[in-house]
Chains A and B, each alone.
Chain A
Amino acid sequence: MQGFDVPIRKAGMLARVLVASLATALSSAAMAQSDYPNQPIRLIVPFSPGGGTDLGARLLANDLEQVFGVSVVVENLPGAGSQLGLTELANAKPDGYTIGAVNQPALDTIILSPERQATFDIDSFDYIINHVSEPIIIAVRPDSPYETLKDLVAEVAARPGELRVATSGLLTPEHLAQLQLEQVARSRLRIAHFNGAAESMTQFRAGRTDIAFTTASFLEGLKPLAILSRERSNALPDLPTAVEQGFPDLVMVSTRGFAAPAGLPEDVLATLRDAFAQVAQSESHQLKAAESGLSVEIVVGEEYEAFARSNFESARPLVELAQQQRN
């Protein structure tokens, strides 16, 4: 039945976008900050409808409308691995009426790759909240002789340029984690880039790659060796982290949060942070998010800003390494 409601929602959405942008244009000159928000809020999702980021944003947008009393209009601006939507977000007026979803490390790798010619950087945004965190998991086939991450790292170190791995795309979290593993083992992997996680996992299941870099939803039938988050995941409490197995540099988590263009009035930013925190931490939202397969990890306000900046800094050497490898 899902097929029915989507196009209708889309049509409604288009109309609402029109109304929203018109309203913004008319009233932006005479804006009283104290009564924020008093007009529709535009929430840019830099990915296609139907993906995980879109899903999370739409869940939150619905609840935010209740809190704010104005409509929160999700606008999908996909393209160039989120660069199009992020550019639009960075260039929007910092008045709190345009906010957007930002995913890391996508944000970091766009800024850090010179050929992307990004017109924004990590300072171009005011950070509101982190919503979802998805750690990368390193896994092997069940019949594999490796029992711990240590075994695997030793093998990678002993056979440089022999073990094969697949990414779900260039500079994706999987790719960055593979670069980390290369550094930790002081060795080299054969890295092939595929289009999306489903394709790269098919290669692994068909025996064309040796180590799987994946996420929790693809673990069926695999032997996971380590999760690349700082602490163990609630969903997989028995899976040790790489950090606790003695590899503090193997940390790769893809995160999804929300931000606004930099330079928001302080009271507006505070209002946004409070509202997002209230909604995201509510029991009903947590339940809905869990049903949709989102692993929620809330980090609010200044703490999220520090978190985002530290993510950015840890991506920097990896992107540089990727640049060197191709030369």
Chain B
Amino acid sequence: METTFAFWVQGISDALQPSNLLFAFLGCVIGTLVGVLPGLGPAAAMAILVPLTYDMGPVPAIVMLSAIYFGTQYGGTITSVLVNVPGESTSVVTCLDGHPMAKSGRGGAALGIAAIGSLFAGLTGTLLLMILAIPLSSLALRFGPVEMFALLVVGLSLVISFRGGSLLAAFAMTLVGLMLGLIGLDPVQGAPRFTFGITSLFDGVQLVTVIMGLFGIGELLLSFEERVPEPITGKINSLLPDRGERKSASLAILRGTCVGFGLGIIPGMAGIVPTFMAYALEKRLAKHPEKFGKGAIEGVATAEASNNAYAQASMVPLLTLGIPGTATLAVMMGAFMINGITPGPFLFVNHPETAWTVIGSFIVANIVLFILNFPLVRVWVNILLIPRRFLQVAILVFCIIGAYTLRNNVLDVLVMILFGVLGYFFKKIDWPAVPLVIALILGPLLERALRQGLELADGDTTVFLTTPTSALLLALAFLIVTFSLFANLKAARAARLLVSHTADKADPTS
């Protein structure tokens, strides 16, 4: 316990070093900006900025990217409340009551309570993360290639929960991702696979270029098509909620934090789920449930608390197990990996300083974000008035330069553009890009672990079933897949029944 505490102190004090503090601040500003601008999500923004972090060294890079992640959660609120367009998908729920509050002149109070709730949830979430990190990662040394293989299978099986359109689409995208992961030199035999004689492909497709393309360029192309309504900026007066509002919001914040963290810790949980559940819970407990949807401050408070607690909690499976639950976390994992650090059980063993500094920076980021979003909120409101075409061109140029500077290689730019077009296309047909990216990240790790495990066991394939931890994890993966399949079939059958029912009713002869 004492050493844990020493790590906490070390992490926070390292996070306060000028360079880390600067990058945390920079990340907060960028994150809030991204959150404020509708259309540009955290995954896209981080994907675009990853090449910039390439030369920073791992700690400042991760510090900045995580600050961006949390910043988007704060910034998304502003757009939700004032424009009624969720800046981020997790802010959808904030719109429900935030915008009605803005219309009735309580926009300031809505933004204020959102910032307070976010700060509380962010700090509580980080504290829980700090407590959980060591016990979870103490399993690390027990994780050899065999156990790692099983853990990665679990990670891959969770990909199914990302179905946008259909389960089939998620599976197909997972397979595409796995196949993309095969490109390059075979890690055990050195044979080139799917390289078509191009030496630049010997290391495989560069993860960052794929991510930048799918999320950065893809979203950029989509944003050309969107229209954004005018913001309500005139009516922001006092940010402080009045006494009655404060009283009803404080319990909502506490409950939102619990729901957000509790559900967020489950790998693969989409951020919108805990936020909606916290909102529903609040509505059920409220004395005046009819006020919800018409400007109830509890609704804003609980939604913002839960999405920030979720953001912290989602770091737990990423940092301790190496399972990236969402697109944003997949980008984050990519950023770790291009900086030579693989998140997972070994993070806290091999790179404890890095891990704890990053966690320490979460606290710093939350405080900086509170300052940016509470006293300085009016600055961000003005950003909503900048014409978006300027930003779009700047982002495009930035992406191209970023992709080139990764390896000073033109091929990487072409790969990024290709995946940009693909990303746009996938969005249009509603095929989720996240399974592709996660499979591309986990696939090569999975192959390595499989072959390492086999080599060390002298080719004995039963080793994956006779090792207890591995057997347990594989069983879990099996359960996840079967459960999802059944749930999906059931839903499909229900839908079919419904259709035939309505058809029956429509038929006057029956």
The stretch of A60-68, A80-88, A130-138, A231-239 in contact with B is: A80-88
Q: Are B190 and A7 in contact (CB under 8 A)?
A: no
Complex contacts, A206 vs chain B, CB 8 Å: 141, 144
In the assembled complex, the CB of B148 is this many whole angstroms from the nearest CB of chain A, namely: 11
Q: Are B456 and A77 in contact (CB under 8 A)?
A: no
Distance A9 CA – B54 CA, assembled complex (angstroms): 13
Verify if B376 is at the interface (C-beta below 8 Å from A).
no
Type the 1/0 row for B180-209, where 1 means its CB is closer than 8 Å to any CB of A.
000001011111100001011011000000
Verify if B19 is at the interface (C-beta below 8 Å from A).
yes
Q: Are B57 and A50 in contact (CB under 8 A)?
A: yes
Complex contacts, A52 vs chain B, CB 8 Å: none
Distance A115 CA – B202 CA, assembled complex (angstroms): 11
Q: Are B452 and A194 in contact (CB under 8 A)?
A: yes
The stretch of B92-100, B240-248, B401-409 in contact with A is: B401-409
Complex contacts, A34 vs chain B, CB 8 Å: none
Type the 1/0 row for B213-254, where 1 means its CB is closer than 8 Å to any CB of A.
000000000000000000000000000000000000000000
Verify if B448 is at the interface (C-beta below 8 Å from A).
yes
B54, B55, B187, B340: which has the most chain A beta carbons within 10 Å? B55
A4, A49, A171: which has the most chain B beta carbons within 10 Å? A4
Q: Are B56 and A80 in contact (CB under 8 A)?
A: no
Complex contacts, A14 vs chain B, CB 8 Å: 405
Q: Are A10 and B55 in contact (CB under 8 A)?
A: yes
Verify if B18 is at the interface (C-beta below 8 Å from A).
yes
The stretch of A148-156, A195-203, A221-229, A300-308 in contact with B is: A195-203
In the assembled complex, the CB of A66 is this many whole angstroms from the nearest CB of chain B, namely: 25
Distance A83 CA – B191 CA, assembled complex (angstroms): 14
User: CB-nearest residue of chain B relative to A6?
Assistant: B55
Complex contacts, B346 vs chain A, CB 8 Å: 202
Type the 1/0 row for A166-179, where 1 means its CB is closer than 8 Å to any CB of B.
10011100000000
A79, A161, A191: which has the most chain B beta carbons within 10 Å? A79
Identify which of B54, B187, B191, B197 contacts A193 (C-beta below 8 A).
B187
Distance A316 CA – B203 CA, assembled complex (angstroms): 24
**How many residue pairs, one in A and one in B, have C-beta atoms under 8 Å apart?**
113
Type the 1/0 row for A97-139, where 1 means its CB is closer than 8 Å to any CB of B.
0000000000000000101110000000000000000000000
Q: Are B455 and A190 in contact (CB under 8 A)?
A: yes
Type the 1/0 row for B408-426, where 1 means its CB is closer than 8 Å to any CB of A.
1100000000000000000
Q: Are A77 and B407 in contact (CB under 8 A)?
A: yes
Complex contacts, B141 vs chain A, CB 8 Å: 205-206
In the assembled complex, the CB of B357 is this many whole angstroms from the nearest CB of chain A, namely: 12
Q: Are B202 and A3 in contact (CB under 8 A)?
A: no
Verify if A37 is at the interface (C-beta below 8 Å from B).
no
Distance A75 CA – B405 CA, assembled complex (angstroms): 11
Distance A57 CA – B144 CA, assembled complex (angstroms): 36
Q: Are A83 and B192 in contact (CB under 8 A)?
A: no
Q: Are B405 and A84 in contact (CB under 8 A)?
A: no
How many residues from A make CB contacts under 8 Å with B?
Answer: 47
Q: Are B57 and A192 in contact (CB under 8 A)?
A: no
Q: Are A208 and B456 in contact (CB under 8 A)?
A: yes
Complex contacts, A81 vs chain B, CB 8 Å: 185, 202
Identify which of B57, B408, B456 contacts A3 (C-beta below 8 A).
B57
In the assembled complex, the CB of B219 is this many whole angstroms from the nearest CB of chain A, namely: 25
In the assembled complex, the CB of B406 is this many whole angstroms from the nearest CB of chain A, namely: 9
In the assembled complex, the CB of B439 is this many whole angstroms from the nearest CB of chain A, namely: 18
Distance A193 CA – B444 CA, assembled complex (angstroms): 13
User: CB-nearest residue of chain B relative to A77?
Assistant: B408
Q: Are B199 and A190 in contact (CB under 8 A)?
A: no
Complex contacts, A170 vs chain B, CB 8 Å: 185, 187-190
Verify if B52 is at the interface (C-beta below 8 Å from A).
yes
Complex contacts, A209 vs chain B, CB 8 Å: 456
Complex contacts, A87 vs chain B, CB 8 Å: 199
Distance A59 CA – B54 CA, assembled complex (angstroms): 21
Complex contacts, B56 vs chain A, CB 8 Å: 3, 6-7
User: CB-nearest residue of chain A relative to B408?
Assistant: A77
Identify which of B340, B349, B407, B448 contacts A79 (C-beta below 8 A).
B407
Verify if A1 is at the interface (C-beta below 8 Å from B).
yes
Complex contacts, B200 vs chain A, CB 8 Å: 79-80, 84
In the assembled complex, the CB of A31 is this many whole angstroms from the nearest CB of chain B, namely: 25
Q: Are A83 and B202 in contact (CB under 8 A)?
A: yes
User: CB-nearest residue of chain B relative to A119?
Assistant: B199
Q: Are B190 and A113 in contact (CB under 8 A)?
A: yes
Distance A7 CA – B55 CA, assembled complex (angstroms): 6
Complex contacts, B59 vs chain A, CB 8 Å: 3
A7, A14, A192: which has the most chain B beta carbons within 10 Å? A192
Q: Are A193 and B202 in contact (CB under 8 A)?
A: no
In the assembled complex, the CB of B49 is this many whole angstroms from the nearest CB of chain A, namely: 12
Complex contacts, B55 vs chain A, CB 8 Å: 6-7, 9-10, 49-50
Q: Are A164 and B456 in contact (CB under 8 A)?
A: yes
Identify which of B145, B188, B189, B408 contacts A75 (C-beta below 8 A).
B408
Residues of A1-25 whose CB lies within 8 A of B: 1-4, 6-7, 9-10, 14
Verify if A76 is at the interface (C-beta below 8 Å from B).
yes
Verify if B458 is at the interface (C-beta below 8 Å from A).
yes
Residues of B268-321 whose CB lies within 8 A of A: none
Given A3-B56, A75-B408, A79-B407, CB of A193 within 8 Å of CB of B452: yes
Verify if B60 is at the interface (C-beta below 8 Å from A).
yes
Q: Are B57 and A6 in contact (CB under 8 A)?
A: yes
Verify if B350 is at the interface (C-beta below 8 Å from A).
yes
Q: Are B452 and A2 in contact (CB under 8 A)?
A: no
User: CB-nearest residue of chain A relative to B338?
Assistant: A48
Distance A148 CA – B300 CA, assembled complex (angstroms): 70
Q: Are B350 and A202 in contact (CB under 8 A)?
A: yes
Given A2-B19, A202-B346, CB of A80 within 8 Å of CB of B458: no
Identify which of A50, A79, A190, A195 contacts B202 (C-beta below 8 A).
A79
Would you mind naming 30 contact pairs between A and B with Cβ atoms under 8 Å apart? A2-B19, A3-B57, A10-B55, A10-B405, A49-B54, A76-B408, A78-B407, A79-B200, A79-B202, A79-B203, A80-B200, A87-B199, A115-B192, A117-B192, A162-B458, A170-B189, A170-B190, A171-B190, A190-B455, A192-B452, A192-B455, A193-B188, A193-B451, A194-B448, A194-B452, A195-B187, A195-B448, A205-B141, A206-B141, A209-B456
A interface, CB within 8 angstroms of B: 1-4, 6-7, 9-10, 14, 49-50, 75-81, 83-84, 87, 113, 115-117, 161-162, 164, 166, 169-171, 190-196, 198, 202-203, 205-206, 208-209, 326
Which 9 pairs across A and B sit closest by C-beta, in order of nearness?
Answer: A80-B202, A192-B455, A3-B60, A3-B19, A192-B452, A6-B55, A208-B144, A206-B141, A10-B55
A6-B57, A80-B203, A208-B145 are known contacts; what are 9 more A-B pairs with Cβ within 8 Å? A3-B22, A83-B202, A117-B197, A117-B199, A192-B145, A192-B456, A194-B448, A202-B350, A326-B188
